[in-house]
Amino acid sequence: MMTDKRQNFQPGIVGKLRAEVNPDFILDGDLDQGYHCYWLRVQYEDTDAGAIVYHAQYLAFAERARSAWLRCLGIDQVTMLATDEMGFVVRRIEIDFQLPARLGDVLEVESSLSRLGGASLKLHQKIINRENRHILARLVVDIVLVTFSRGAGLHPAKSKICRLPAAVKAKFSGLAKPG
């Protein structure tokens, strides 16, 4: 019989958690006092031949965290795209790589809103090694809301920047932190 080497592992605990906890809560991270934390483990697919995270993956990690942040705020991007034909897109991104992440590392992506405009958001994100708390990368992301022309599909050339609807803007109320 195989034994599980994870500390404090209790057989059946996953089943209990599955019944008691909404998986969205676990998958989407935590939003507290305007800061969103999203956790992930570096997988083999994220790394290069030296088991170091490939630089483009940091952008993917940050994108996942931003999507999870919106879900935590109650903003459903799938419905926005399908029903309202609008969505958030990255207009500009700046990344400062500081230290490498490695295969198996547990990372935390911390996101905070630093500016809310009429049609745009500015976010600051940090990718942190969960074990030693070293900051691996810092990102500044400008996001705009765009609307897609009816019948044109989600074609970028047919999109136009639009103002945040009042209901969406209200979800961001009080979250802005100085950059």
Catalytic machinery residues: 48
Tokens 């996001």 -> residue:
143
Q: Which two tokens stand for residue 108?
A: 């935390």
Residue 108: beta bridge partners?
39, 128
Residue 121: beta bridge partners?
116, 143
* CA–CA dist 39, 60 (Å, integer): 13
Please report, as a single letter, which amino acid is at residue 92. R
